[in-house]
Amino acid sequence: MVKRSRKKLILSPPQVLALGFIVLILVGSVLLSLPQAYAGEGRLSYLDALFTATSATCVTGLSVFNTGADLTVFGELVILVLVQIGGLGFMTMSTLIAFVLRRRISYQERLILQEAMNHHSAEGVVRLVRKVLLYALMIELTGAVLLTSRWSLEMPFGQAVYFGIFHSVSIFNNAGFDLFGSFSGRPGSFIHYVGDPFINVVAMILIFLGGIGFIVISDLLTYPRNRKLTLHSQVVLSASAVLIVVGTLVILVFEYTNPHTLQPLSPMGKTFGAMLQSVSSRSAGVTTLDLSSMRQATQFFVMILMFIGAAPGSSGGGIKVTTFVILIGATLAMVRGKEDIVLFERRIAKDRIYKAITFTLLSFILVVLSAMVLSITEEYSFLGVLFETVSAYATAGMSLGLTAQLTDAGKMFLILLMFVGRLGPVSLAYSLTPQQKKERFRYPEGKITIG
């Protein structure tokens, strides 16, 4: 007998990640479409359930209904679990199960973890995952305790505990879901707490820690011992600080005299409102100001912050701050006639520069094309359509009101956009293309005129 050889299907790490997110989204959509998840009569339509499951898994925060009012506790817990798994990564959660079962992590799984964590190599990635799980648990627990202590002053203790846990997980994972829609007569998100220093500070710390990534958090915790930060951490921390300060000043200046946002607030309220918006815009989706009442210049600036996004290895989206810094460095190097990009006395490798340019250009093209399509399917202002498009792709979760009015075609399109934004266009392209082969020859160099 002649044995037929069967080719074993081997998925690349990006393909495994894409498939894992798809399975997680589909499971979540089925659970949210159950009657037990909907607070009203009947159930959510499957498309609305699919949209919400995608938004939660991709830690975006966009919602086509009022989360706090329209979902039961079961539905809210489904969103909470999806946010936690989607924020930390399903491979990280799978590794946690393997730790509990005392199962060995294979080399293939280490490669997938490397891709999921945006780590530079497979070496030490399991140790990093252990740290990720510990740090996430401690930060979320601390945030939950702090928020519970504040909200226990205005609601029953049990509800305060529930709100503290839900919002701590949601804010730290940069998801942007909130339950304040369950209070009649109160605006959504954190608008009610625009002048509350405690809520503002806790929220900003959670957003900041969730946005800088676990590699940087690990570096910061070991800094007192080794007195050294990696180049990645130096770039992320310095760029994040600059963006927060610049963002705060720009929003403060643009909205200072706006009677619908900052003008009625006290000086401290103005400062906290502008600062939280600056911190949150790069992926968190938490806001204490009415975005739809902002001036168009401010709304466009918020779009820029959303497009830049958070740091690699975090739950945040966008092109990432490191990509933005490399692009700025490349521009300055070209203007100064320098050949290399140098950051903190370190030269940036050419492949990093090519990847930054490719990622940014693909992201820009995707956002532009998506906005053009949505402007056809949706009856809305173009600025509102563009804002929603950037928010979905950057998984920022901020909205000017379009999401609640989306057509079915618009919902499907934003579902795809949130999914691509969470994985990244480059990773998605790798997952859909066959394994690349090394080129056997190179063409002669040519020159074209630029500028």
pLDDT in tens, 76-120: 999 999 999 888 764 455 445 444 445 555 555 555 555 444 555
Spatial contact of 390 and 27, defined as CB atoms under 8 Å apart: no
What count of other Cβ atoms lies within 10 Å of the Cβ of residue 360?
A: 18
Is residue 167 scored above 80 in pLDDT? yes
Spatial contact of 416 and 370, defined as CB atoms under 8 Å apart: no
Query: How many percent of the chain have pLDDT more than 90?
Result: 49
What's the start-to-end Cα distance of the chain, in Å? 68
- Output 383 or 429, whichever has higher pLDDT: 383
Spatial contact of 170 and 178, defined as CB atoms under 8 Å apart: yes
- Tell me the C-alpha distance between 411 and 391, whole Å: 14
- Tell me the C-alpha distance between 110 and 102, whole Å: 16
Spatial contact of 147 and 131, defined as CB atoms under 8 Å apart: no
pTM for the full predicted model: 0.88
Read out DSSP for 119-151?
-S-STTHHHHHHHHHHHHHHHHHHHHHHHHHHH
- Chain center to CA of 297: 23
Q: Give residue for tokens 């779009």.
A: 303
Instruction: Give the chain's length.
Output: 451
- Chain center to CA of 445: 40
Confidence band of 206 (pLDDT split at 50, 70, 90): very high
Confidence band of 429 (pLDDT split at 50, 70, 90): low
Buried/exposed 55-93: b ≥16 CB within 10 Å, e otherwise: bbbbbbbbbbbebbebbeeebbebbbbbbbbbbbbbbbb
- How far is CA 201 from each of CA 160, 176, 268, 296, rounded to the nearest angstrom? 18, 16, 12, 27
**CB contact set of 361 (below 8 Å; sequence gap of 6+):** none
The pairing of strands 346-347 and 342-343 is antiparallel
- Tell me the C-alpha distance between 287 and 280, whole Å: 7
Q: Which helix (H) or strand (E) holds 347?
A: strand 346-347
- Tell me the C-alpha distance between 29 and 13, whole Å: 24
pLDDT value at position 110? Answer: 53
Is residue 380 scored above 50 in pLDDT? yes
pLDDT value at position 398? Answer: 92
Q: What does the angle CA 408 – CA 411 – CA 412 come to, to the nearest 5 degrees?
A: 90
Q: Which helix (H) or strand (E) holds 343?
A: strand 342-343
Query: Which amino acid, 292?
Result: S
Spatial contact of 86 and 56, defined as CB atoms under 8 Å apart: yes
Q: Out of 14-23, 273-282, 303-312, 355-364, which region has the weakest mean confidence (pLDDT)?
A: 14-23
Q: What is the DSSP letter of 234?
A: H
- Output 40 or 158, whichever has higher pLDDT: 158
Q: Give residue for tokens 């600036």.
A: 301
pLDDT value at position 351? Answer: 83
Mean pLDDT estimate for the chain: 84
Spatial contact of 41 and 49, defined as CB atoms under 8 Å apart: no
pLDDT value at position 196? Answer: 92
Q: Out of 179-183, 415-419, 433-437, which region has the weakest mean confidence (pLDDT)?
A: 433-437
Token output for 258: 């706006």
- Rg of the chain's alpha carbons, rounded to an integer? 22
**CB contact set of 224 (below 8 Å; sequence gap of 6+):** none
